[in-house]
Amino acid sequence: MVDILQFVILSTIRSGLYALIAIGFTLIFGVGGVLNLAHGASIILGAYAAYYASAAGLGVAGSMLAALVVPAVFGSLLYLFVIRRFEHEPIMVMILTLVTSVAVEQLVIELAGTQAKRVPQFLSGNMTIGGTSVQYNLIAVFALSWAIIIGLFLFINYTKPGKGILATSMSAKGASLVGIKSDRINLATWAIAGALAGIAGMALGSQLGATYHMGRNPLVLSFSIVVIGGIGSIRGSVVGAYLIGFLEVGVIQFVSSDLTGIAPLVVLILVLLVKPEGLFGRELAE
C-alpha cells in the first residue's frame, strides 16, 4: 500500500516537471510548425542563469527572474536573426537549432567548465506524505508547473495576444488576413517558449544540478511527450507528460532504476507505430 502511495506521489510530482519541460517545445511547433532542437539549450541557459544569479547573491526570486529572462532573450534573438529567414523550411530550422544547441553547450563548457553546478532550490526541506518523504522543492515545482499550464491556457484563450497565437497556429494566412502580424506572434512565441524552457531548466537544475549536457534528455523527453499527446497540442502534452511520468516512475520503482530514460523512448516508438497522430492530434493547428 505504501509502495502504491509512494508511486502515485512521486509520479504526480515528476509528471509536473515533465509537463513544464515539454510545454515550450510544443508551443513552438503548434504555432510555427517547426521543431526547435535548441529547446534543450534554453533549458541549459535557464539553469545556468539561475546558478549565476544565485552566486551573485540575488536569491531565489532573482534566480527565477534570470531563468525566465535570459532564455527568453535567447529565444527572441534566435528567432529574429536565424529562424525568421527560414521559417518555411523546417529542415533548415532543425539543422540551425541543432547547431545552436551544440554551440550553447560548448559555450557553457568554456564559461563554466564540465563539472555540475548547484542551482538554488525554490524551497528547501522535506515533509512526509503518507509515509513517503517528499521535498518541498518538488512540491514547489509541481505547483509552478500547474500555475504555468493554467496561466498559459488562460493567456491563449482569453487575451488578445494569446488569441493571436491561437489564430496563427490555426492558419498563418488567415491570421494575417485579419490583421495579425505573424512575425510578432512568432517572436512572442519564441520568447515565451524560451522563458518556459528556462524556468523548467531551473526546476530541473534545482533537482539534479546544472550541467552543460543537461538539455539533451529533456529534448528527447519533450519529443516523446509531444508525440504522444499530439504534436502541437498543449493539452495533449500535459497528458503525455503524466503518462510518461507515471510510466517512468513505475519502471524505476518496480523494475530497475537502471532503466531510467528508457520508458519514454519505448512509448515514443510504440505511439509512432500505432497512433502517429498522437492522443489529441494537432489541436492548435486544426
Residues contributing to the site for other proteins (CB under 8 A)? 6, 10, 54-55, 113, 115-118, 121, 124-126, 133, 135, 137, 206-209, 211, 214, 217, 252-253, 257-258, 260
As measured in angstroms, the least distance from the Cβ of 146 to other proteins is 20
As measured in angstroms, the least distance from the Cβ of 92 to other proteins is 31
> Alpha-carbon distance 67 to 73, whole Å?
11
Helix (H, G, I), strand (E, B) or coil at 261: coil
As measured in angstroms, the least distance from the Cβ of 36 to other proteins is 22
Place of cell 512568432: 186
Helix ranges, the chain (H):
2-32, 39-55, 59-81, 90-112, 136-158, 160-170, 172-177, 182-208, 216-229, 234-254, 262-274
Closer CB to other proteins, 1 or 258, in the complex: 258
Closer CB to other proteins, 171 or 260, in the complex: 260
Residue pair 7/253 in contact (Cβ under 8 Å)? The answer is: yes
As measured in angstroms, the least distance from the Cβ of 156 to other proteins is 31
Which amino acid does the sequence have at 59? Answer: G
261 — alpha (psi -120 to 50), left (phi > 0) or beta?
left
Closer CB to other proteins, 158 or 254, in the complex: 254
As measured in angstroms, the least distance from the Cβ of 118 to other proteins is 4
- What residues are paired with 135 via a beta bridge? 126
Closer CB to other proteins, 161 or 209, in the complex: 209
Residue 89 φ then ψ, to 5°: -125, 85
- What residues are paired with 210 via a beta bridge? 117
- What residues are paired with 127 via a beta bridge? 134
Closer CB to other proteins, 101 or 206, in the complex: 206
As measured in angstroms, the least distance from the Cβ of 82 to other proteins is 29
As measured in angstroms, the least distance from the Cβ of 253 to other proteins is 7
Closer CB to other proteins, 85 or 118, in the complex: 118
As measured in angstroms, the least distance from the Cβ of 141 to other proteins is 12
Residue pair 47/223 in contact (Cβ under 8 Å)? The answer is: no
Closer CB to other proteins, 26 or 63, in the complex: 63
**DSSP letters of 57-123?**
T-HHHHHHHHHHHHHHHHHHHHHHHTGGGGTT-HHHHHHHHHHHHHHHHHHHHHHH-SS-BPPPPSS
Closer CB to other proteins, 160 or 257, in the complex: 257
Which amino acid does the sequence have at 47? Answer: A
